[in-house]
Amino acid sequence: MRLEQTLKEDKGTGCQIPKLNPYSKEVTQFDVDMPKVICSGEDWVKCYLSECKLVPHILETTDYVVCTYNDIIYVNDNKYTFGPPVKVHASDNYVLSKSDHVKISCRGVQKNSTRASKWKGYGVGYRESVNPKTPPPGRENTFNILLFGFDSTSRNGFIRRMPKSYKVLTEELGATVLHGYNILGDGTPAALLPILTGKTELELPDVRKKAKNNDNLESIPFIFYKAAEDGVLRRYALDRYV
């Protein structure tokens, strides 16, 4: 309430969003061109919804391919186990049933050659075995919402450094840009917790590992818990699974 009152006194009507030029010289002078990230090789296997299979290019260039799949079973935030190995040959598919994440290793022989080749990596998809909750009356056709954000850059920095992505989001996908969204503190939790819970970091229990209070994120009222009651399947993933 004090913050709201102060804003009204300063501006007369509340918060006025400043219009900033993303390409202002005062900012662009600090930009540094980073080398392009070039990945070596390619993934042999891709997962589409619940099915994981070899990509066409590997099927065309490699004979006698055998892939071994191990489901990654998450016990809690700190522990996971691997399911039993399942071997799949050539163009056959592996269907996810125990987990959305799977460890994969493949071997084969390059066509027109006796040279053996191999690949290992991880796959991620969506199990059909997970049944969403039945939404309550009147909530059957609620909207699907994707929150897309970059923790490592500002909005204007995103516009400058990733103009093609910004164009796709705003012009092709019709995304709504949160021009007036500001972090309410310092660091990632202060940036994400308000928009996902409606509360600031200080209003919520401290569940960081260093707090050592044996609490976890389940005690925080995230908006996706509410979405789950409407039958929405929740998904959280990083760029690594183990």
Q: What is the pLDDT of residues 188-218, one digit of tens each?
A: 888 888 888 999 888 998 887 787 777 778 8
How many Cβ atoms sit within 10 Å of the Cβ of residue 92? 12
- pTM for this one? 0.73
Q: How far apart are CA 114 and CA 116, in angstroms?
A: 6
- Convert the pLDDT of each residue in 96-125 to its tens digit: 999 999 999 999 999 988 889 999 999 999
36 belongs to a structural domain: no
Q: Do 71 and 111 reside in the same domain of the chain?
A: yes
Residue 182: pLDDT over 80? no
pLDDT at residue 169 in the model:
95
| Residues 6+ positions from 227 with CB-CB distance below 8 Å | 234
Residues 67 and 95 in one domain: yes
Bridge partner list, 206: none
Q: Does one domain contain both 17 and 84?
A: no
* Domain identity same for 67 and 113: yes
Full residue range of the structural domain in which residue 86 is found: 45-124
- Domain check: are 155 and 185 in the same one? yes
State what percent of residues in the chain have pLDDT above 90. Answer: 42
Host H or E run for residue 107: strand 101-110
Q: Is pLDDT of 236 > 70?
A: no
Task: Write down the pLDDT at residue 116.
Answer: 92
134 C-beta neighbours (distance < 10 Å), count:
11
The pLDDT assigned to 23 comes to 92
Total number of domains constituting the chain: 2
